[in-house]
């Protein structure tokens, strides 16, 4: 029994598929154009889109008020243009005449009679720059100042403490006797409190006595130091007075030199001021003449340019603002992939044909192998 031989799928008509794809592309382009260009209706005017075959036609119309304003504006501009044409004839006559201003020459220098500034040097003498100074005392002789102790054996603090000590001892003994009479024993809380209070009072008295002794010793030392300092200050003041006298003499000489210098400087300054005043006067006269000349030139240029300015003013009228119609950005419509679909269909059919052919070949190879095995078994 034999099977019908499998045949490959027929080759598709690619030309027809391409033609169909072209038609689909054209239809998609038309649809996109219609979506992207809608009719627009605004407060100043309208914009409509129509199609005659594949050719679009855009019509823009103004509202009645905007149309009337545009026509009025155009009428005004036409009248101004006609008036400007009359001005051009006058301007042509003026510009046809060479411009010859009647102006004097510009002053580029001033009179040479101005005297030069006095630059002569002064003979002011030499100023005295130093005087002989004294030698100041830079130390104090402390050999005669009393030392911190009152004498070689005892300080003021020791003397006060030696006088206070018997009283402190007497107070301590009296306190101990009083506590014993009260029946307070050594080491008890009340006994310790009383003894602590007595010790604090003793410390206060000793600190007070020590402070009085230190103040006494410091006062004696300060008194001796002040006496030595007074002697040194007296000598320094005497030398300083001598130095001040020498300094005054030198300052008097310098003041005389400075006064002479100022007199000469004042005389030269007055001379230079007179020269500068003369120069400024001549400069002012020259500047006045130049400014008058410039003013005359500006006046003549203004009269010459007046017709041109009138024409420019007439021709610079504003125009009506036309409404701006914004185009609509619509979404693109992709064409159907007809040509690609034909290719994919044919490729699928070819794949199925290949699979069937491979299965058939595999089956034939198996049958042939089986027949060979059976023949070999029969021969044995």
pLDDT tens-digit readout, 53-94: 777 888 888 888 888 888 888 888 788 777 777 778 777 777
Q: How confident is the model at residue 138 (pLDDT cuts 50, 70, 90)?
A: low
Q: Does residue 330 carry a pLDDT above 50?
A: no
Q: In Å, how far are 55, 127, 183, 272, 273 from 266, measured between CA atoms?
A: 99, 19, 107, 10, 10
Structure tokens at 166: 């018997």
Q: Does residue 153 carry a pLDDT above 70?
A: no
Domain boundaries, the chain: 156-315
Residue with tokens 């506590």: 179
Structure tokens at 177: 């006797």
Q: How confident is the model at residue 1 (pLDDT cuts 50, 70, 90)?
A: very low
Per-residue model confidence (pLDDT) at position 120: 57
**pTM, to two decimals:** 0.31
Can you tell me whether residue 327 is helix, strand or coil? Answer: coil
Of the CA atoms within 13 Å of residue 303, those in its CB half-sphere come to 8
**Rounded Cα–Cα distance for residues 37 and 53 (Å):** 16
**Segment 101-114, tens digit of pLDDT:** 776 666 666 655 55
Q: Does residue 168 carry a pLDDT above 80?
A: yes
Q: How confident is the model at residue 165 (pLDDT cuts 50, 70, 90)?
A: confident
Instruction: Note the Cα 34 to chain centre separation in Å.
Output: 54
- Return contacts of 336-342, CB within 8 angstroms, 24+ apart: 336/24, 337/21, 338/17, 338/20, 338/21, 338/24, 339/14, 339/17, 339/18, 339/20, 339/21, 342/12, 342/14, 342/17
Structure tokens at 296: 């005359």
**Rounded Cα–Cα distance for residues 360 and 363 (Å):** 5
């Amino acid at each position: 029994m034999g099977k019908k031989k499998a045949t490959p799928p027929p080759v598709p008509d690619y030309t027809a598929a391409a033609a169909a794809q072209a038609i689909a592309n054209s239809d998609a382009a038309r649809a996109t154009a219609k979506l992207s260009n809608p009719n627009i209706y605004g407060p100043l005017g309208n914009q409509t889109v129509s199609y005659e075959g594949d050719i679009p036609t855009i019509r823009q119309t103004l509202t009645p008020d905007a149309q009337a304003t545009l026509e009025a504006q155009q009428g005004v501009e036409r009248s101004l243009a006609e008036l400007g044409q009359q001005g051009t004839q006058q301007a042509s006559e003026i510009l046809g005449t060479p411009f010859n201003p009647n102006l004097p020459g510009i002053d580029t220098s001033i009179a040479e009679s101005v005297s030069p500034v006095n630059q002569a040097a002064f003979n002011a003498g030499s100023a005295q720059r130093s005087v002989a100074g004294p030698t100041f005392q830079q130390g104090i002789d402390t050999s005669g100042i009393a030392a911190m102790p009152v004498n070689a054996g005892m300080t003021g603090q020791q003397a006060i403490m030696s006088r206070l000590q018997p009283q402190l001892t007497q107070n301590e003994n009296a306190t101990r006797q009083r506590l014993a009479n009260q029946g307070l024993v050594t080491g008890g809380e009340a006994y310790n409190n009383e003894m602590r209070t007595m010790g604090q009072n003793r410390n206060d008295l000793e600190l007070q006595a020590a402070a009085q002794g230190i103040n006494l010793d410091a006062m004696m030392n300060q008194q001796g130091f002040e006496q030595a300092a007074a002697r040194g200050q007296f000598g320094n003041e005497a030398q300083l007075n001598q130095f001040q006298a020498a300094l005054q003499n030198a300052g008097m000489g310098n003041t005389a030199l400075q006064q002479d210098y100022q007199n000469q400087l004042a005389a030269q300054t007055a001379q230079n001021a007179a020269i500068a005043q003369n120069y400024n006067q001549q400069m002012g006269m020259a500047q006045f003449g130049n400014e008058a000349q410039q003013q005359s030139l500006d006046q003549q240029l203004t009269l010459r340019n007046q017709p041109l300015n009138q024409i420019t003013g007439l021709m610079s009228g504003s125009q009506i603002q036309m409404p701006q119609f914004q185009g609509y950005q619509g979404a693109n419509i992709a064409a159907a992939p007809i040509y690609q679909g034909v290719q994919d269909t044919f490729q699928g059919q070819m794949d199925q044909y290949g699979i069937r052919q491979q299965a058939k070949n595999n089956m034939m190879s198996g049958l042939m192998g089986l027949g060979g095995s059976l023949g070999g078994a029969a021969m044995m």
